[in-house]
């Protein structure tokens, strides 16, 4: 059971994170933390028209929270903001068990389904996605108010 | 002396849910009429705490999985339940304290920080010390002013009078929901509306109301609402402060310690959001879990039913107390909560209490932590019988018999 | 991996006194190594509270006879017992609070009132947030200065260093008795002597010590001493502040409400004496009664024996932890309390915790409410196993096995 | 049992207290309260050489506390301070049950023995005596420091 949580892909993303670091001139930056365990994730990204062109993350915390941030940076780079929003919804559904993992559409992220048996770790797995979701909401609100 | 009222509640059946009222070696059985001081605890409350300590005990929050996560979940579920009990918008509006007293002190200390010299706080003349002293200290510290809303001769609060006290300097109107001496049920919804129209905030001391009537903080529209677990069939050591989110979010921390910060460095501290920011240190975990069970107990009976039943019983008591020559009852008689504060001739309330005690009837005697009200009523002390859902007419009958005995011992004829 | 030490305590027999460790449906049985966060409760403690709630429940003080007087007596007997447990001179020196955090906040708020601009407060670099944040707030409010007593690389406090920090402006030295991360046992007696020589007062945060070693406040000669019931086999929702009478008597009230006054009039208030003056509102009555039973539990085993036994067990743990490649242990190894904070390779402490949890071993992971210490150690989080009197070598063996599993899952080879 | 507590003499002293009131120019004044029940007693008296010449009390509280103050005023007027101290000791012994009530030496005060069965009322019965004892201690201390 524990091996379902800590699958190879998770360890890989934890140890060789994609997109860990900072942007020289981040256009958008948003952070979040899981106060119960202290996990922290900061997301920076850039936008070209509707497309998210660049995602970097920093922060610290358990392997799940950091691997999940890495997977997100990888999966959402190049997606439009609408696509990203839809993708985030899919990830929540995956974590909750509402949809089954599908390697084809979700890639590495399927491995996050392992948290289902560890309810308290769902917050770790969803942290980075919540941070980006919040950031996109902020963007939308700014755009609409113009 | 039968009553004609329909019995909406079977008090005897309810007493059977309480170890305190089931025959036991340790104590003779008691007619307990001191519910204004603290209520007895149903078996369900005691057992929920025993269950917690026996099988789920762990500290909450801060990175625990397994048993710790379960304890955190039970704790946060209780917070949700309290929010629902009060009809708060969300559980983040529920701050766990150690009691009404701490809840009010917390507001006076944190919200009170924003007070300016010359600002005014209105409290009523019937308040408990817990809703007097924190404000006295605050106005002194801030150069503000405490305005006392006098009671009528009947023992009520007059809304006209409040109108005339409200000024553009009024920042807070803090009043009790039900008086622990007069038993007056104050019109808190109307009070909050008037206060808000004048731009003031409101705090309701609900220590004596939550166990005895339905309450809905959104309907009352108060800004703060405070009560204790132990007067609500729950454990000691736990209380609640409800506050509207938009106000709680502006408050600085109260006590400082673990659990209420995001990050501490020697040169900089950032606070956690609500409710955590206002809850430093290990909270009263088992007590909160026990309080959850107490709310379930009350709602299983139904707060509408409890209110109606206690009013029936109160009417019966009011009627029968008239039999006692020389008895002076305080507070309104047209409508009131189930508290009966009185004196009998020149007999000191402690002596009334002692005589009743030998008859196995527990009442309270003293100033009930409301000295200014005692001064207004012209009596430093009263005897007080206070009802709860497990009391019935037979208890009132015993009280009346006991009061006749008081008159006899003190040769009042 | 047998040890040669003489087993002074039969941990298995002690576990049988705890419902948490007896097989039950509700939970799989757990190896509980999170005693630094909170301890489990012996049956005697739970039963004393059940007994109180079932048969003796009443509010304390304020003119109650019969059952109320008995409750007051149980409450005050517990205060006596706490005084005796700490070897305080008298029970009036024992203030009931809701926990260590409140105890320290109380001192910072009340004693702190007398602080002058430029005055200095010394705290150590290893303190828990509960012994940092109240002082930070105080010095800010008063224009005073917080001086941080740095730890040595070994994780200890150096008395020479303290000497160099003490000035004629030092008003308070506040340090923890035992570190909840490093497990260092600080030389509190020597610290108090040095502080007093410099004219400063002292506060000892004893949250981590009272359950694990004999304490004697007169011997330590501290001015204040704070701890929580829940880390001492007692209930949540209750803590203690010891203070020397001559100092407590000079303190203004902390929270305000019922029970802490002599007389309230609109234009004048007079306070009650100690300890009442510092205890506003209904105290955690059942919790204090439960704490009494917890002190009895500890003293029946004997605090000398507990200290010796836990040191034996700690030595065994220190030895065995060396088997784990890549394990970094924090804190001194020559002598320490039974807390073991560590990291394993690049595995995050929460992941260590999760793996151990699946092996039915409960430890804590995180910053342990000591961010500045984490900064000093260069690690935001650690995994922490912490021992109590019911733990034994088998638990350490299981921990070691679990840590091997951690290395395996995380492919650390 | 309750009649033992509220004996006729107690009720008499409660309703017709001896020495209730104030001295025009009290030489010595001392007060005390029973915080648990709120009983208050204030004692004023004068001293002529070693002799206590005048005792008045005021305050409020239960019949036991007020009757006991009245009895004290009556019993100790005209006694020397040493005699008063010895008398106070006797009263404590009576309340505790260490000596039996003796009408001859103690007079009305014997009735206070009724509190023995009501342990919480002992504090009510002893309040006035404690106040005077404290006052005499204060006097002694002042005398010795001269
Ligand atoms: C050293 C130390 N001080 C203070 C505290 C705070 O105790 P409590 O949360 O019971 O107030 C703790 C426990 O978390 C501690 O370990
Ligand atoms: C009206 C009122 N307010 C406040 C309090 C104080 O409650 P607690 O002592 O539980 O803090 C009480 C109870 O004594 C009360 O009756």
Instruction: Flag if B410 and D6 touch (Cβ within 8 Å).
Output: yes
More confident residue, B319 or A38: B319
- Residue in chain D nearest B407 by alpha carbon: D6
Token couple for C306: 């507990």
CB C212 within 8 A of CB C206: no
Residues of chain D in contact with residue C62, where contact means CB-CB under 8 angstroms, are 36-38
Omega cis (within 30) before A9: no
More confident residue, A105 or C269: C269
Beta bridge partners of C226: C205, C241
The whole-number pLDDT of residue B3 equals: 46
**Number of neighbours of residue B334 by Cβ within 10 angstroms:** 7
The shortest C-alpha distance from C282 to chain D (Å) reads: 14
Residue among C215, C208, C214, C213 nearest C231 (CA): C208
pTM, full prediction: 0.95
**Number of neighbours of residue C114 by Cβ within 10 angstroms:** 12
| pLDDT tens column, D29-87 | 888 877 667 788 999 999 999 999 999 999 989 999 999 999 999 999 999 999 999 99
CB burial class (10 A; 0-12, 13-18, 19+) of residue C317?
Answer: buried
CB of B282 closer than 6 angstroms to any ligand 1 atom: yes
Token couple for A82: 């609408």
Give the separation between CA C155 and CA C373, rounded to whole angstroms.
10
Q: Which atom of ligand 2 is nearest to the CA of B102?
A: 11
| pLDDT tens column, C374-407 | 999 999 899 999 999 999 999 999 999 999 999 9
The whole-number pLDDT of residue D35 equals: 67
Token couple for A122: 């769902």
The single residue of B195, B329, B369, B400 carrying the catalytic annotation is B369
The whole-number pLDDT of residue B226 equals: 98
Q: Please tell me whether residue C26 adopts helix, strand or coil conformation.
A: coil
pLDDT (mean) for D8-37: 87
Residues of chain B in contact with residue C98, where contact means CB-CB under 8 angstroms, are 98, 237, 281, 284
For ligand 1, the distance from its centroid to the CA atom of residue C23, given in whole angstroms, is 30
pLDDT (mean) for C190-209: 98
CB A118 within 8 A of CB A5: yes
Residue among C159, C172, C158 nearest C222 (CA): C172
**Sheet architecture: strand order including B94-97:** B94-97, B239-243, B224-228, B201-205, B170-176, B120-124, B145-149
Mapping DSSP onto H, E and C, the string for B60-76 reads CCCCCCCHHHHHHHHHH
Residues 111-130 of C with CB under 8 A from A: none
For ligand 1, the distance from its centroid to the CA atom of residue A41, given in whole angstroms, is 27
**Which candidate in B65, B67, B263, B274 is best for mutational testing of the A interface (most A CBs within 10 A)?**
B65
Q: What is the CA radius of gyration of chain D?
A: 14
**Which candidate in A63, A67, A127 is best for mutational testing of the C interface (most C CBs within 10 A)?**
A63
Instruction: Give the DSSP H/E element, type plus range, for residue D85.
Output: helix D81-96
Q: Please tell me whether residue B275 adopts helix, strand or coil conformation.
A: coil
Domain boundaries, chain B: 11-38+302-409, 46-299
CA-based end-to-end distance of chain B: 23
Q: Any idea which architecture C46-299 has in CATH?
A: 3-Layer(aba) Sandwich (3.40)
Length of chain B counted residue by residue: 413
Q: Give yes or no for residue C70 having a pLDDT over 90.
A: no
- Residue in chain A nearest B274 by alpha carbon: A35
Token couple for C5: 């030490």
Among C65, C69, C272, beta carbon nearest to D35: C272
Percent of chain C with pLDDT over 70: 96
Q: Give yes or no for residue C160 having a pLDDT over 90.
A: yes
**Sheet architecture: strand order including C224-228:** C94-97, C239-243, C224-228, C201-205, C170-176, C120-124, C145-149
pLDDT (mean) for C362-381: 93
Give the separation between CA B158 and CA B56, rounded to whole angstroms.
50
More confident residue, A120 or C408: C408
The whole-number pLDDT of residue A131 equals: 94
Pairing relation of β-strands B382-386 and B364-366?
antiparallel
Residues 342-361 of B with CB under 8 A from D: 346-351, 354-355, 358
Tokens 């991996």 correspond to what residue?
A: C1
Residues of chain C in contact with residue B278, where contact means CB-CB under 8 angstroms, are none
Complex confidence, ipTM: 0.93
Give the separation between CA B175 and CA B186, rounded to whole angstroms.
8
CA-based end-to-end distance of chain C: 23
Instruction: Flag if B369 and C259 touch (Cβ within 8 Å).
Output: yes
Give the separation between CA B260 and CA B276, rounded to whole angstroms.
5
pLDDT bracket for residue C25 (50, 70, 90): low
- Residue in chain C nearest B361 by alpha carbon: C66
The shortest C-alpha distance from C298 to chain B (Å) reads: 18
Instruction: Flag if D62 and B358 touch (Cβ within 8 Å).
Output: no
Does C104 touch chain B if contact means CB atoms closer than 8 Å? yes
CB of B15 closer than 6 angstroms to any ligand 2 atom: no
pLDDT (mean) for C151-159: 98
Beta bridge partners of C144: none
The whole-number pLDDT of residue C3 equals: 45
| pLDDT tens column, D109-146 | 999 999 998 888 898 999 999 999 999 988 877 777 66
Instruction: Flag if D120 and C69 touch (Cβ within 8 Å).
Output: yes
Give the separation between CA B258 and CA C128, rounded to whole angstroms.
8
For ligand 2, the distance from its centroid to the CA atom of residue B384, given in whole angstroms, is 15
The whole-number pLDDT of residue B378 equals: 94
**What secondary structure letter does DSSP report for B54?**
I
Nearest-CA residue for ligand 2 atom 16 is B180
The whole-number pLDDT of residue C1 equals: 40
pLDDT bracket for residue D26 (50, 70, 90): confident
Omega cis (within 30) before D115: no
The whole-number pLDDT of residue B99 equals: 98
- CATH label, B11-38+302-409, candidates 3.30.360.10, 3.30.930.10, 3.20.10.10, 3.90.1150.10: 3.90.1150.10
For ligand 1, the distance from its centroid to the CA atom of residue C130, given in whole angstroms, is 6
The whole-number pLDDT of residue A103 equals: 86
CB burial class (10 A; 0-12, 13-18, 19+) of residue B8?
Answer: middle
Pairing relation of β-strands B224-228 and B239-243?
antiparallel
Does C362 touch chain A if contact means CB atoms closer than 8 Å? no
Token couple for B43: 């078996």
The whole-number pLDDT of residue B350 equals: 92
Among A2-11, B192-201, C132-141, C214-223, the range scoring the smallest mean pLDDT is: A2-11
Give the separation between CA B74 and CA C206, rounded to whole angstroms.
28
Does C276 touch chain D if contact means CB atoms closer than 8 Å? yes
Q: Please tell me whether residue B53 adopts helix, strand or coil conformation.
A: helix
Q: What is the mean pLDDT of chain A?
A: 90
The shortest C-alpha distance from B346 to chain D (Å) reads: 9
D96 phi and psi angles, rounded to 5 deg? -75, -15
For ligand 1, the distance from its centroid to the CA atom of residue C208, given in whole angstroms, is 7
Degrees, nearest 5: CA angle B95-B101-B104: 60
**Number of neighbours of residue C315 by Cβ within 10 angstroms:** 16
Nearest-CA residue for ligand 2 atom 2 is B207
Instruction: Flag if C365 and A39 touch (Cβ within 8 Å).
Output: no
CATH code assigned at D66: 3.90.1010.10
Give the separation between CA A19 and CA A39, rounded to whole angstroms.
18
The whole-number pLDDT of residue C4 equals: 44
CB B258 within 8 A of CB A35: no
Tokens 């006035």 correspond to what residue?
A: D128
| pLDDT tens column, C279-329 | 999 999 999 999 999 999 999 999 999 999 999 999 999 999 999 999 999
The whole-number pLDDT of residue B365 equals: 92
Does D5 touch chain B if contact means CB atoms closer than 8 Å? yes
* Chains D and A are in contact, defined as 3 or more C-beta pairs closer than 8 angstroms: no
pLDDT bracket for residue D106 (50, 70, 90): confident
Degrees, nearest 5: CA angle B320-B325-B326: 115
Does A6 touch chain C if contact means CB atoms closer than 8 Å? yes
Residues of chain C in contact with residue A121, where contact means CB-CB under 8 angstroms, are 354
The domain tally of chain A equals 1
Q: Where does B267-384 have alpha helices with state H?
A: 285-301, 303-321, 349-358, 371-377
**Sheet architecture: strand order including D28-34:** D28-34, D39-48, D51-60
pLDDT (mean) for C92-102: 98
Is C369 known to be catalytic? yes
Does C381 touch chain A if contact means CB atoms closer than 8 Å? yes
CB of C72 closer than 6 angstroms to any ligand 1 atom: no
Does A38 touch chain C if contact means CB atoms closer than 8 Å? yes
The whole-number pLDDT of residue B100 equals: 98
Q: Report chain B (413 residues): mean pLDDT per 10 consecutive residues.
A: 60 96 76 97 98 93 73 95 98 98 98 98 98 98 98 98 98 98 98 98 98 98 98 98 98 95 90 94 98 98 97 98 98 97 96 94 92 93 97 98 97 90
Q: What is the CA radius of gyration of chain B?
A: 22
The whole-number pLDDT of residue B70 equals: 87
Token couple for C77: 């007997």
Give the separation between CA B178 and CA B127, rounded to whole angstroms.
10
**Which candidate in A1, A34, A36 is best for mutational testing of the B interface (most B CBs within 10 A)?**
A36
What range does the domain containing A93 cover?
2-145
Give the separation between CA B286 and CA B58, rounded to whole angstroms.
10
CB of B370 closer than 6 angstroms to any ligand 2 atom: no
Does D119 touch chain C if contact means CB atoms closer than 8 Å? yes
The whole-number pLDDT of residue B63 equals: 57
pLDDT bracket for residue A144 (50, 70, 90): confident
Does A36 touch chain C if contact means CB atoms closer than 8 Å? no
Token couple for B265: 């460095």
CB C218 within 8 A of CB C238: no
Q: What is the CA radius of gyration of chain C?
A: 22
Q: Which atom of ligand 2 is nearest to the CA of C282?
A: 9
Q: Which atom of ligand 1 is nearest to the CA of C36?
A: 16
Residue among D58, D84, D79 nearest D70 (CA): D58
């Amino acid at each position: 059971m524990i091996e379902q949580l800590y699958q190879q892909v998770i360890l890989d993303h934890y140890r060789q994170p994609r997109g860990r670091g900072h942007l020289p001139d981040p256009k958008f930056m948003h952070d979040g933390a899981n106060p119960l365990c202290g996990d922290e994730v900061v997301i920076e990204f850039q936008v070209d028209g509707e497309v998210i062109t660049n995602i970097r993350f920093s922060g610290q915390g358990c392997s799940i929270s950091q691997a999940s941030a890495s997977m997100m940076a990888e999966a959402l780079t190049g997606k439009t903001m609408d696509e990203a929003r839809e993708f985030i919804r899919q990830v929540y559904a995956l974590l909750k068990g509402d949809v089954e993992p599908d390697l084809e559409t979700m890639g590495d992220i399927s491995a996050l389904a392992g948290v289902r048996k560890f309810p308290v770790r769902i917050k770790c797995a969803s942290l980075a996605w919540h941070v980006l979701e919040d950031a996109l909401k902020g963007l939308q609100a700014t755009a609409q108010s113009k | 002396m039968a009553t004609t009222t329909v019995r909406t509640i079977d008090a005897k059946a309810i007493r059977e849910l309480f170890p305190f009222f089931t025959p036991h070696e340790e104590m003779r059985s008691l007619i307990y009429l001191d519910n204004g001081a603290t209520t007895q605890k149903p078996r369900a409350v005691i057992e929920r705490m025993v269950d917690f300590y026996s099988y789920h005990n762990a500290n909450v929050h801060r990175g625990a999985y397994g048993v710790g996560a379960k304890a955190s979940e039970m704790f946060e579920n209780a917070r949700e339940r309290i929010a629902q009990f009060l009809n708060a918008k969300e559980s983040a509006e529920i701050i766990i304290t150690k009691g009404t007293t701490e809840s009010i002190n917390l507001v006076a200390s944190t919200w009170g920080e924003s007070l300016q010299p010359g600002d005014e706080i209105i409290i009523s003349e019937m308040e408990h010390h817990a809703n007097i002293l924190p404000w006295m200290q605050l106005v002194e510290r801030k150069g503000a002013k405490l305005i006392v809303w006098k009671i009528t001769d009947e023992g009520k609060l007059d809304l006209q009078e409040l109108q005339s006290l409200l000024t553009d300097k009024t920042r807070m109107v803090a009043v009790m929901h039900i008086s622990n001496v007069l038993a007056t049920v104050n019109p808190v919804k109307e009070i909050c509306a008037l206060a808000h129209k004048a731009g003031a905030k409101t705090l309701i001391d609900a220590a004596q109301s939550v166990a005895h009537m339905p309450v809905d903080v959104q309907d009352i529209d108060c800004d703060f609402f405070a009560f204790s677990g132990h007067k609500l069939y729950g454990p000691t050591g736990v209380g609640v402060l409800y506050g509207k989110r938009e106000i709680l979010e502006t408050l600085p921390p109260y006590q400082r310690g673990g659990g209420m910060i995001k990050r501490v460095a020697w040169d900089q501290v950032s606070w956690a959001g609500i409710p955590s920011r206002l809850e430093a240190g290990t909270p009263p975990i088992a007590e909160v879990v026990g309080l959850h069970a107490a709310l379930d107990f009350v709602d299983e009976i139904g707060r509408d039913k409890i209110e109606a039943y206690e009013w029936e019983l109160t009417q019966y008591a009011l009627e029968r107390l008239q039999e006692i020559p020389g008895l002076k009852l305080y507070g309104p008689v047209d409508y009131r909560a189930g508290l009966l504060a009185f004196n009998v001739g020149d007999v000191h309330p402690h002596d009334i209490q002692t005589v009743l005690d030998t008859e196995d009837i527990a009442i309270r005697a003293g100033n009930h932590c409301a000295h200014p009200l005692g001064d207004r009523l012209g009596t430093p002390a009263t005897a007080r019988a206070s009802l709860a859902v497990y009391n019935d007419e037979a208890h009132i009958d015993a009280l009346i018999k006991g009061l006749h005995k008081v008159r006899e011992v003190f040769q009042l004829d």
